[in-house]
Amino acid sequence: MRHKRIFGTAILLLLGAGLQVGGSARAQAACGLQSADNRIKHVVHIQFDNVHLRRDNPNVPSDLEQMPNLLNFMQNNGVVSGNHHTPLISHTATDILTVLTGAYGDRMGVPVANSYGFFRNDGSVGFSSSFLYWTALSADGKPQLINENGKTFPAPWAPFTRAGCDVGAFSIANMEFESLPADVRTVFGTGSPEDVAVSAALALPRTPANAPARQAPNTDYLGIAVHCAQGSQLCNNSHARADALPDEPQGYVGFKALFGNVNVAPALCAAAPAGCDGSGNVRDTDGAVIADAYGRPGFPNIFSPVAKQSLGYAATMLEAGIPVVYVYLADGHDRNPVPLDPATNLPGPSRAFGAGEAEYVAQLKAYDVAFGKFFARLAADGITKDNTLFVVTADENDHFAGGAPSPANCDGIHVPCTYAQIGEVTTFLDRLLLTQRGNTTPFDIHFDDAPTFYIHGNPGPTDALTRTMEHDVDALQVTNPITGRVEKLNAFLADRAEMGLLHMITSNPARSPSFTMFGNPDYFNTTSSASTGQGKDCSQAPACVSESPGFAWNHGDVQTEITRTWMGMVGPGVNRSGRDDHVFSDHTDLRPTMVALAGLKDDYTHDGRVLIEFLEDRALPRALRRSENFLELAQVYKQLNAPLGSVGLDSLHFANRSILSDDAAYGTFLGKMDDITAQRDALAAEIKPILDAAAFDNQPINERQEQQLVHRARAIIDRVSDLAHDDHDREHH
């Protein structure tokens, strides 16, 4: 669930233009996708939230197995890789933004999600949501998506709109309004009529009677946007506003955008009336009006849209002649949408399901039906695998926290599964530290199973407060209320040196956590408040460790079951190889691969690389065709630079052991890590432009240069591997 906890801690459709449906859509003849042989007229990239390729229970078909309309389409017509990975931390906002940009969090500003902490000048800690509009300022006063130069990272729609292609967005991270009234003020201005109306509605007393009116601004303004090309008819109306991107490297002037359903729907329904009802409201794939829980047409809920809603809005965008559309779908293992509680007139408590539960299976069936209708509708519109690039992924996997199913042999399809115990185990870390370690040092965390710690006063890595806190956190043990086992909470500690190597330190030092605990994935770690026993030891109520049935699927951590997700591609230029797990990739690779196939180019160097192993030679520039030099360099580069590559994973073992050693050993570690990271960063900075130049400027890679770079990369990889193995041997003996 994307917005599970704001301070406790995504389908991307890109379609080329020229589409006309029933003569009603406005063609975008100027859209200039430049694919090989000009075969790609549409590109569809689908971003799921926590939808699984692999089975969580060996007897129960996986999420995608229960969506054969999607899975078979990908496997029969293209490639599906289960060797695809997230960045760190592995959580919704960071993962989606990495997909959108092709850059890790240290360069695009959000390596911690779905919110992040920052140190104020006085050493106190504030928090900002990771979900804000692209050009928004964070609560720390810096650009939300701060790049390595302190500017806002380039927007993913800019290359397409510059090429004459309108870009639609539905529920995808940070491309449309995410938070009110903040985002309305960013675009429309503080004190604007829109700000006044939105703020007035949100200021209404929180009563059941006022619930629909308080929800109305979210329905009208959140989650939907169209970024228009210059001269687009969709933005030739009074609803459009300037699409301001002042930090774009090549400039961005004269573009307009539509924000919110209240402004987008009139343009869509005028251009594609078949996708709307007679009153100008967009319909889902079943033909029902897309509306919130109170029946108001517009964005359906707080960033948990189901398949029929996201795909219905996307199809209407396409039929309105929008060549590029980004949309996101909620997971299937939480109840979506959450029904209203009659007592409060608000969405009731969330409910999580285990694999094979009847409602989980029913939701996946509804998703499968929606995809069947979506593909049929696209085919009727002339959008097929022969002229359309489909790119599909999930932000991350997640780990099921719960007991065993009953009956033991249930398969969910013929025999439903039930669970006597289900739900992540919630902890209060501050109370546990007080009880078990007597540690009263004030700190805050980003709530997660991999919490980032912010120690008040912002002490340095070698400061006694930091060193003691790290050791005390590692020593914490709790009794799992589901299994009865005594377990450690910590799996790996990462200090600032290690987080730097893992691309978790941004150009704004105020956002750098004191350290991160990659934890036991059964646990969701929080701190207490006045209502949950702040300052009390664990002998007093409420319990410091408890089962939380509202949520049962944890992510944010480093375990393979969480960080190894999947991606699929179908369309012109993509090999029809079916399931193919032999290539290591991560989220940074999807952006350059997609842009390269579309024949466009970003204004920056990617952290990822084009996945030529999955592509036909004819779709590639000559510099990439049968290029062993590119392939060998690209593959070793990923092991060097990806957080889940060899260097990232091996360094985490080395870091955890060193952090928990004495001060002298830790000082030695810091010296080694500084040297390793400096060498790695310098070498990656040499390799990335070479890979991008081959992909986007048709510059062949010199064999001698490639061999030298690979030799240097392997030397770093081997060095870190040796340190990790030495570390392991010392721990073992």
pTM (2 d.p.): 0.94
Determine the pLDDT at residue 551.
Answer: 87
Residue 348's pLDDT band, with cuts at 50, 70 and 90, is confident
Residue 23 has pLDDT above 80, yes or no: no
201-215 pLDDT, tens digit per residue, is 999 999 999 999 999
Q: Among the listed ranges 123-137, 468-482, 581-595, 618-632, which one has the minimum average pLDDT value?
A: 618-632
- Number of Cβ within a 10 Å radius of residue 34: 11
3-state secondary structure 614-626: HECHHHCCHHHCC
238-248 pLDDT, tens digit per residue, is 999 999 999 99
Cα–Cα distance for residue pair 512/297, rounded to 1 Å = 41
For residues 374-401, average pLDDT = 93
Cα–Cα distances (Å) from 540 to 429, 430, 524, 535, in that order, read 14, 14, 20, 10
Q: Among the listed ranges 65-69, 171-175, 415-419, 623-627, which one has the minimum average pLDDT value?
A: 623-627
Determine the pLDDT at residue 728.
Answer: 46
Determine the pLDDT at residue 618.
Answer: 92
How many residues in the chain?
733
In single-letter form, the type of residue at position 336 comes to N
Residue 714 has pLDDT above 90, yes or no: yes
Determine the pLDDT at residue 142.
Answer: 97
Q: Among the listed ranges 17-26, 44-53, 103-112, 503-512, which one has the minimum average pLDDT value?
A: 17-26
**710-713: which pairs have CB atoms within 8 A and are 24 or more residues apart?**
710/632, 710/633, 710/636, 712/683, 713/636, 713/637, 713/639, 713/640, 713/683, 713/687
Residue 358 has pLDDT above 50, yes or no: yes
Residue 388's pLDDT band, with cuts at 50, 70 and 90, is confident
Please count the helices (runs of H) and the strands (runs of E) in the chain: 19, 29
Q: Which residue has the higher pLDDT, 70 or 341?
A: 70
Residue 5 has pLDDT above 70, yes or no: no
Q: Among the listed ranges 219-233, 338-352, 482-496, 522-536, which one has the minimum average pLDDT value?
A: 338-352
Residue 250 has pLDDT above 80, yes or no: yes
Determine the pLDDT at residue 22.
Answer: 35
For residues 563-587, average pLDDT = 97
Determine the pLDDT at residue 545.
Answer: 96
Share of the chain above pLDDT 90, in %: 86
Q: Is 117 helix (H, G, I), strand (E, B) or coil?
A: strand
Going by C-alpha positions, the residue among 29, 493, 521, 501 that lies closest to residue 232 is 29
Determine the pLDDT at residue 608.
Answer: 98
| Backbone dihedral angles phi then psi of residue 418, each to the nearest 5 degrees | -130, 160
In single-letter form, the type of residue at position 644 comes to L
Q: Is 26 helix (H, G, I), strand (E, B) or coil?
A: coil
For residues 561-574, average pLDDT = 96
Q: Among the listed ranges 17-21, 455-459, 710-714, which one has the minimum average pLDDT value?
A: 17-21
For residues 373-393, average pLDDT = 93
Q: Among the listed ranges 71-75, 116-120, 150-154, 388-392, which one has the minimum average pLDDT value?
A: 388-392
H or E segment and range at residue 518: strand 515-519
**134-143: which pairs have CB atoms within 8 A and are 24 or more residues apart?**
134/174, 134/175, 134/245, 135/186, 135/187, 135/244, 135/245, 135/246, 135/247, 136/182, 136/183, 136/186, 137/186, 140/508, 140/510, 140/511, 142/508, 142/510, 143/109, 143/247
For residues 652-680, average pLDDT = 97
H or E segment and range at residue 674: helix 663-696
Residue 135 has pLDDT above 50, yes or no: yes
Q: Which residue has the higher pLDDT, 385 or 9?
A: 385
Helix axis angle for 628-641 and 663-696, nearest 10°, is 150
Q: In terms of DSSP H, where are the helices of 491-547? A: 496-501
Determine the pLDDT at residue 17.
Answer: 35
Residue 196 has pLDDT above 80, yes or no: yes
398-415 in b/e form (b: 16+ CB < 10 A) is bbbbbeebeeeebbbeee
Cα–Cα distance for residue pair 92/112, rounded to 1 Å = 9
Residue 68 has pLDDT above 70, yes or no: yes
Question: Average per-residue pLDDT in the chain?
Answer: 93
Residue 152 has pLDDT above 90, yes or no: yes
Residue 294 has pLDDT above 60, yes or no: yes
> How large is the C-alpha radius of gyration of the chain?
25
